[in-house]
Structure 1
Amino acid sequence: MRLTALDECGVPLYDSALGSIITTGFISVSWEHETEEGTEYTSENAWGDFCIQEKDAPRVKWLNLGMDFCEIDPETMVMVAGSLANFDTDGMVGTFFDENRNVNAFAAEVWTRATGQPCNASGEPYWGYFAAAYVRNGMIAGGGTVENGTMNMEMSGNGFGAAPDPSDNAVSAWGTGPYADSPTVNPWPVGAFRYIGITDVQPPVSSNGARAIVVATGATEVTGAEGTLTPTNAGPPLTIAGLSTVIASPLTEWAVGSYITLGDGSLAHWGGSAWVAGAS
């Protein structure tokens, strides 16, 4: 399963360190259409026979999405249920829940092996691919029981039609997705809330927790202020340990007051030979 954080308008959160979660730690995912029955129109003549008997087609109001996890990172509860992250020096260790309304949105994609399908020209298997591009109202559906046994976590949400891109209402904010693989091939239509299909795009590798959709590879100093990340739309690493692959510019020690902000809200700067916690 791949979960992608969205803003309230359905746009992927490129600038978030919690933008993407790829996990094999789920048991099942359920998809159910919430429908409204069509209106009936009937009229009888004097003899009691129908002279009018019509019924509108039922309409789908939204998608009920259920997810049952056997292993779940705290980041998943933050992205899906809108809980409050709790960090220590090594990263996220838990999450707090309060009474506030969950304004988070997310997209969910699931791969499952397609049986009876030949491999593609590259010798790779085909997969069943299921997706919902705009899910809101995420919450924990089951309380979970602590006992001498397994403990699963049930989460749910409501899938709505893909939102239009704020800069171009003719296309959806999801498009073919924020990743380079594009399992749907063609862009996601505005208003479409669910996808079912076959793809030869292979399942992505588990991310072991959350990461940015586009992870920064470089950080440029802005003297005495917050620096910029590259490439465009890149998100910061979650913790200072993730900066090991980020190249600083310049490579000399940054000036007093210079810094970048990490995904856990802490600051870091380039000390001349290594990344150092806090502003310079």
Structure 2
Amino acid sequence: MATVSECATPIKGTHMRIIALDACGIPVTGSSGMVVVSSGFVQVEREPDYEDGEEFFERTASGQPCVNQKDDPTLKRMALTVQMCEVNVSALSYVISARELTTGTPTTGTGFAIAEGNPTNRYSLEVWQEVAGAGACDASGAQRYVYWAWPNVGATQLGSYTIENGRSTFEFTSETRGAGATWTSLIGADYLPAGETIETDEHEVFNITTAAPPTVACNPTALAA
């Protein structure tokens, strides 16, 4: 058992990174891939989805409990609800498996068209939070961050969208799977302790780190191999 533990008080959300994956949850590198870093999100809500354990209960002929046991619940996946106040056309069209509308040279995404059918695109989602209070920096004076990652996300559904005399928020929901085999080496290594690898049955990552978040940019970039 560890004898020293990090403690931090998370507050706010500063950065979000979306990275395209293939159908097996492997990050897509090179010109076919996509990396988008945004600060234009309102919230990311995570809701764990558990299967209740099977319950065994039997009474004797006299009505007294004879067997009273219940199996432990099973965590199946995480359900994510993301609300965006900024619509990044390339990122959102990919996440919701829509067709991006483009124009000009260089090719610029200006919108998207949504068709009937099943969502197929998968992505990795990472979020950075500030650390509040006296623990905002470590002993050497380096800024600390709370790092969240969901390495393999998909099955994305659109949420409701309201046009009114007020701000509009773009919402979508997604579900997690276990991490792809190369997720740590291609994406997460900078924000995890040295030598740690996210396993293929792990759906969520939480870590306290001094590694700074990536730079926010509207234009997508490619992921290096």
Distance in 2 (alpha carbons) for counterparts of 1:122 and 1:139 = 44
Q: Deviations over 1:171-201 (max 9, x none)?
A: x231244366233541111110011231111
Question: What whole-Å deviation, never above 9, does each CA across 1:17-36 have from its counterpart, x for those lacking one?
Answer: 55111000000000001111
**Unaligned runs of at least 5 residues, structure 1:** 164-171, 215-232, 234-280
SS at match of 2:190: coil
CA-atom RMSD, angstroms? 1.8
CA distance in 1, matches of 2:48, 2:166: 33
Equivalent residues in 2 for 1:3-18, closer than 5 Å: 3-16=18-31, 18=33
Structure with the larger RCO, 1 or 2 (CA within 8 Å, 6+ apart) = 2
Query: What does residue 202 of structure 1 align with?
Result: 212
* CA separation of 1:140 and 1:64: change in aligned 2, threshold 3 A: same
Q: Which residue of 2 aligns with 1:94?
A: 111
C-alpha contact (below 8 Å) 2:17/2:35 kept by paired residues: yes
Distance 1:159 1:20, change over 3 A: same
1:114 matched residue in structure 2: 131
Q: Does residue 181 of structure 1 match 2:190?
A: yes
How far apart are residue 58 of structure 1 and its match? 0.9
Taking the aligned partners of 1:179 and 1:60, their CA distance within structure 2 comes to 23
Gap regions ≥5 residues in structure 2: 1-15
1:52 and 2:67 are equivalent in the alignment: yes
| TM-score under structure 1 length normalisation | 0.69
AA at the equivalent of 2:184: G
Does 1:191 pair with 2:201?
Answer: yes
SS in 1 for 2:90: helix
Deviating above 6 A after TM superposition, structure 1's stretches of 4 or more consecutive aligned residues are none
- Tell me the distance in 1 between the aligned counterparts of 2:42 and 2:173: 14
Letter in structure 1 aligned against 2:205: Y
SS across alignment from 2:223: coil
Give the alignment's TM-score, normalised by structure 2.
Answer: 0.84
Higher strand share: 2
Q: What is the CA-CA distance between 1:155 and the residue it aligns to?
A: 1.2
Alpha carbons 1:176, 1:188 under 8 Å: kept: no
Which stretch shows the higher mean deviation, 10-19 or 113-122?
113-122
Aligned residue among 148, 152, 160 for 1:130: 148
Q: Larger Rg: 1 or 2?
A: 1
Question: 1:69 and 2:84 equivalent?
Answer: yes
Cα drift, residue 100 of structure 1 = 3.0
> SS at the partner of 2:191?
coil
Q: Select 1:36's aligned residue among 48, 51, 74.
A: 51
Is 1:213 paired with 2:220? no
Structure 1 counterpart of 2:120: 103
Q: Deviations over 1:83-128 (max 9, x none)?
A: 1111111511111111132211001110111124252355221111
The size of the alignment, in residue pairs, is 206
Provide closer, same or farther for how the CA distance between residues 18 and 88 of structure 1 changes in structure 2, counting only shifts above 3 A.
farther
**SS of 2:184 mapped into structure 1:** coil
Q: Contact 2:191–2:207 at 8 Å: present in 1 too? A: no
Q: Per the alignment, do residues 138 and 119 of structure 1 end up closer, same or farther by CA in structure 2, a change over 3 Å counting?
A: same
- The 5-angstrom pairing of residues 155-174 of structure 1 reads 155-163=172-180, 172-174=181-183
Structure 2 CA distance for aligned equivalents of residues 122 and 17 of structure 1: 40
- Aligned-pair identity in percent equals 27
| Per-residue deviation, 1:42 | 1.3
Q: Could you say what secondary structure the match of 1:209 adopts?
A: strand
